[in-house]
């Protein structure tokens, strides 16, 4: 399919952020064929199948959400306003115990629908029943980096490794490369060094990356000092983990020496500001990491700890927090925020030629109508996109050359059905988790 | 006009938050006539002119934004990512110098449109050319507490007082009571005690309240200690300001003793979390004030320092910040957040019978479609409304018994015209402010 988008402001990455005021994007199959000014369109000898004239709109690279547990959308609002341990142990774990593979499919599909409609074209996930999430990704036209969550404690560690290997063999590069598979050891405190060494070996063998939670809470860091006499970052470095492509989620409690390691090893960081505040985990030193040349991206974490998967909300919060955290309103700017949410997100996930609007890149882009009162005047396009747009301002979404959302409606997913499934499954999970689990589940 | 809304979940305030699952709201003229369960609807002997059946929707009290400078929407994105003093002195003040009364009218109308479409039915404003904002309020069907900004330094102090008195005489209770007028001395650092004494006298005479910025930045507090040897809150208390109804914006830097005064005097606080972070001012101790019984509400501040006027975004941030700031994820909950954004906001502004859905209250309410993927499942309605809804989820808005937004479209304001005016005026202000002002404007 050949699609021509024209008459819009095109925002793209050169060395810095650039804007073509009255531009076009030509898409052929899953790639961007060419980008330019509408005045040069006559030079393009090319016949599109479809033309979208988009005056008053901005076209920007699709957003990349680098840390999610998509199926947790089923637990949105299930437990709020309680301390982390209560949240996890009293509420979330028992509810997750009641989730079936079909629940994970529908929860993932609902999350993908929410993400696509709010401008996210690629996400990274770590959870269980990951083949069900993969199924939802394939059907929905989404791009994703998927990792089966692995726990390195208890009797099932070899099964986890085997499961990850099988998942890799089945899904890596599926959907014409839309899915990439990473390994997902949950965290240092649930995956001891011996197990992580096996994960590293497997990553080497498969030639893939590792998605892991790192230094999310102060307790995690204190426990690491108690057990290893060093920080989680230092332990992981010494294990050689960072010689591989690593996606480190959170990195809230990282001291200067940890930061130096993360920057030097170009560890991909998924910053999840909403989740970190909501669970009172803290504020990650993102401005500092960026100033040192760190590779930072944005994630939402699961909807149970974020309540929305709108990456535009995370962008705003990431900016506001760093300004206040550093006491310097100039500590981070809208261009850095947009970079974290697009091209640097794709880089963190190791997707090749994703996250920019440029010839040869994957055709992942979103269209936003700027002719709305809350997006005027047009003093500064980067500021509007980073600080004023909300998820629902996204009008049209293209992933891998396919229009998956048009005029705010999904072209791929039956939203009515998703809503009905979510309501019913949400009720059932709550009932099962609170009114007594089955004998089988109690024994888990 | 008699309007019946039915088949929706109705969220209202009793002592605590209550929900009628399948409820109705009957509106007659500008008041709520009755609220109840649809199963009791046959008991209501009453013939509506219009019936809205709203299955799958939530109806909640309209939101109250207690601190804004509406016309600053013209400066949205005009200056970001710079320190407060640069922002104000290099960018904002010169741009404001180029704003005409007509600019203030259109900027206010754009802000009101944005607020109404995102669920805000009442706002408090402090700015110049306030008669133009009042005009926009009257036309748009909005409810507002308006204050002409006053500066107590320089040769024009008496003109400010006179202007406020005239504004009060002209607009207080205009629009069938939709407008209430307060006095707006800008802040202690721009209004010395002698001037504030005159303001207090005028407030007594007119029987109205006072809207003032209090302890927004650390510098302001330090300056107060230098000049008065006490905090701004203490100075204002000793002046007797708090014997009147006061709307104190920000209160970021308030120590235990300040907090005690604010609580004891039931000073109405407008908490502006986005603005406070963006300008690196700090985090107001809201959870602490609430725990002591303080009266706290939510505001956006002007769009130049917030970039959106979406009060749903402020609700989320207010919650997330307090949790992290206190290190306790249970420090504040969704019910407290919704209370701040509705009934307590109305209380802070001194609007009688506003902010609840109950018989005899003003018919100010909003309708939200919950049957969307990002608002499922329905584990907890308060959590969904406080933490998951975004401004654009608001479908229908009723103010003072009039439908001002229906299915996401304004029934009162020509959005196309507003957008065109904002684009043109934004460009002109920028040009005038940066390329040199006209002689006439220089003399203003």
Tell me if B330 and A83 make a contact (CB, 8 A cut-off). yes
Q: For residue A436, how many other CB atoms are within 10 A of its CB?
A: 10
Cβ separation A324–B281 shorter than 8 A: yes
* Residue A268 forms contact with B (CB below 8 Å): no
Cis omega (within 30 of 0) for bond into B134: no
From the candidates B377, B417, B430, which should be mutated to test the interface with A, based on the most A CB atoms within 10 A?
B377
The DSSP-derived string for B324-348 is HHHT-TTSS-HHHHHHHHTHHHHHH
Q: b/e map of A330-348 (b: 16 or more CB within 10 Å)?
A: ebbbbebbbbbbbbbbbbb
Chain B contact for A118, CB < 8 A?
Answer: yes
pLDDT at B65 exceeding the cut of 80: yes
3-state DSSP call for residue B245? coil
pLDDT, mean of residues B46-63: 98
CB contact under 8 A, B391 and A391: no
If you measure CA to CA, which chain A residue comes closest to B276?
A324
pLDDT grade, residue A434 (50/70/90)?
confident
Q: Which residues of B touch A333 (CB under 8 A)?
A: 80-81
Residue percentage of chain A with pLDDT more than 70: 98
The answer to whether B305 faces chain A, any CB pair under 8 Å, is no
pLDDT above 70 (res B438): no
Please give, rounded to a whole number of angstroms, the shortest distance from the CA of B236 to a CA of chain A.
27
Nearest CA in chain B to A78: B379
pLDDT of residue A102: 98
Q: Could you read off the pLDDT of A161-219 as tens digits, one per residue? A: 999 999 999 999 999 999 999 999 999 999 999 999 999 999 999 999 999 999 999 99
Distance from CA of A249 to the nearest CA of B (A): 18
Domain ranges in chain B are 2-61+358-410, 63-349
* Best mutation target, B329, B383, B428, B430, to test chain A (most A CBs within 10 A): B329
How far A432 CA sits from the closest chain B CA (Å)?
Answer: 14
| pLDDT-derived band at A436, boundaries 50, 70, 90 | low
For range A233-242, the mean pLDDT: 98
Answer yes or no: is pLDDT of A444 > 60.
no
A283 CA to chain B: closest CA distance, Å? 8
Give B84's pLDDT tier (boundaries 50, 70, 90): confident
Q: A63-349: which CATH topology?
A: TIM Barrel (3.20.20)
Q: Do residue A278 and residue B323 have CB atoms under 8 angstroms apart? A: yes
Residue of B nearest to A377 (CA): B423
Q: Which of residues 358-377 of A touch B (CB under 8 A)?
A: 371-374, 376-377
CA distances for A176 relative to A142, A172, A209, B187, B429, angstroms: 11, 10, 19, 61, 50
Q: Give the pLDDT score at A85.
A: 85
Residues in chain B within 8 Å Cβ distance of A277:
320-321, 323-324
Interface test with A, best of B110, B318, B373, B417 (most A CBs within 10 A): B373
d(CA B152, CA A271): 45
Which 322-351 residues of chain B touch chain A by CB within 8 A?
Answer: 323-324, 326-334
What does the alpha-carbon distance between residue A205 and residue A194 come to, in Å, rounded to a whole number?
17
Spatial contact of B94 and B435, defined as CB atoms under 8 Å apart: no
Secondary-structure breakdown of chain B: helix, strand, coil percentages, each rounded to the nearest 5: 45, 25, 30
pLDDT of residue A84: 84
Q: E strands along B261-417, which residues?
A: 268-271, 295-298, 365-369, 394-399, 402-406, 409-410
Contact between A77 and A28 (Cβ < 8 Å): no
| CA–CA dist B318, B324 (Å, integer) | 10
* CATH for B2-61+358-410 (3.40.50.2000, 3.90.550.10, 2.30.40.10, 3.10.180.10): 2.30.40.10
* pLDDT at residue number A422: 98
Q: For residue B88, give the 3-state DSSP assignment.
A: helix
pLDDT at B437: 53
Question: Tokens for B13?
Answer: 């305030």
| DSSP characters over A60-120 | EEPEEEEEE-GGGGGGTTTS-SS-HHIIIIIIIHHHHHT--HHHHHHHHHHHHHHHHHTTE
pLDDT in tens, A244-266: 999 999 999 999 999 999 999 99
Contact A278 B80 (CB under 8 A): no
pLDDT over 80 at B436, yes or no: no
pLDDT score, position B85? 85
Q: Is the Cβ pair B390, A388 closer than 8 Å?
A: no
Are the beta carbons of B383 and A113 separated by less than 8 Å? no
Pick from A359, A364, A360: which is nearest to A349 by CA?
A364
Q: Does A83 touch chain B (CB under 8 A)?
A: yes
Segment A156-164 shows an average pLDDT of: 96
**Residue in this structure with the two tokens 């007119």, named with its chain if needed:** B206
Rounded Cα distance, A402 and A347, in Å:
22
Using the Cβ of B113 and the Cβ atoms of chain A, whether some distance falls under 8 Å is answered with: yes
pLDDT digits (tens, 9 = 90+) for A383-420: 999 999 999 999 999 999 999 999 999 999 999 999 99
**Angle of helix B130-140 relative to helix B157-171, nearest 10 degrees?**
20
Share of residues in chain A with pLDDT > 90 (%):
96
Please state the length of chain A: 444
Q: Is the peptide bond before B377 cis (omega within 30 degrees of 0)?
A: yes
The answer to whether B89 faces chain A, any CB pair under 8 Å, is no
B72 in contact with chain A, both atoms CB, cutoff 8 A: no
Confidence of residue A4 (pLDDT cuts 50, 70, 90): very high
pLDDT tens digits, one per residue of B357-371: 999 999 999 999 999
The band of B441, judged by pLDDT with boundaries at 50, 70 and 90, is very low
The reply to whether domains A2-61+358-410 and A63-349 share a CATH topology is no
pTM equals: 0.96
């Amino acid at each position: 399919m050949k699609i021509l988008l024209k008459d819009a402001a095109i925002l793209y990455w050169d060395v810095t952020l650039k804007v073509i005021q009255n531009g076009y994007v030509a898409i052929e199959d899953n790639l961007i064929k060419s980008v330019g000014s509408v005045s040069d369109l006559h030079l393009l000898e090319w016949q599109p199948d479809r033309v979208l004239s988009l005056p008053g709109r901005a076209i920007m690279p699709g957003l990349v959400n680098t840390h999610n547990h998509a199926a947790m959308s089923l637990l949105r609002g299930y437990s709020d306003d309680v301390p982390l341990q209560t949240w996890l142990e009293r509420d979330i774990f028992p509810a997750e115990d009641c989730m079936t593979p079909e629940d994970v499919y529908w929860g993932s599909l609902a999350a993908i629908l929410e993400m696509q409609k709010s401008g996210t074209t690629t996400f990274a996930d770590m959870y269980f029943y990951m083949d069900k999430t993969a199924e939802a990704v394939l059907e929905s036209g989404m791009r994703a980096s998927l990792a089966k969550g692995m726990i390195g404690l208890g009797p099932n560690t070899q099964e986890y490794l085997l499961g990850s290997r099988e998942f890799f063999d089945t899904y890596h590069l599926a959907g014409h490369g839309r899915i990439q598979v990473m390994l997902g050891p949950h965290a240092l405190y649930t995956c001891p060094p011996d197990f992580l060494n096996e994960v590293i070996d497997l990553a080497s063998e498969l030639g893939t990356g590792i998605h892991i939670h790192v230094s999310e809470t102060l307790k995690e860091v204190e426990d690491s000092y108690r057990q290893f006499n060093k920080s989680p970052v230092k332990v992981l470095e010494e294990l050689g983990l960072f010689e591989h492509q690593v996606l480190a989620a959170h990195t809230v409690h990282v001291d200067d020496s940890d930061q130096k390691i993360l920057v030097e090893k170009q560890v991909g960081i998924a910053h999840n500001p909403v989740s970190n505040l909501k669970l009172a985990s803290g504020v990650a030193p993102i401005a500092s990491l960026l100033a040192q040349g760190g590779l930072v991206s944005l994630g939402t974490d699961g909807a149970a700890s974020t309540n929305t998967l709108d990456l535009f909300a995370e962008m705003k919060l990431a900016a506001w927090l760093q300004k206040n955290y550093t006491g310097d309103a100039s500590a981070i700017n809208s261009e850095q925020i947009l970079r974290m949410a697009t091209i640097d997100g794709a880089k963190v996930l190791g997707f090749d030629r994703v996250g920019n609007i440029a010839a040869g890149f994957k055709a992942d882009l979103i269209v936003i109508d700027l002719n709305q009162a809350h997006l005027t005047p047009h003093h500064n396009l980067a500021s509007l996109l980073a600080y004023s747009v909300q998820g629902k301002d996204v009008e049209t979404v293209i992933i891998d050359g396919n229009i998956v959302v048009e005029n705010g409606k999904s072209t791929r997913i039956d939203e009515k059905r998703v809503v009905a499934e979510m309501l019913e499954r949400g009720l059932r999970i709550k009932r099962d988790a609170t009114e007594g689990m089955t004998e089988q589940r109690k024994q888990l």
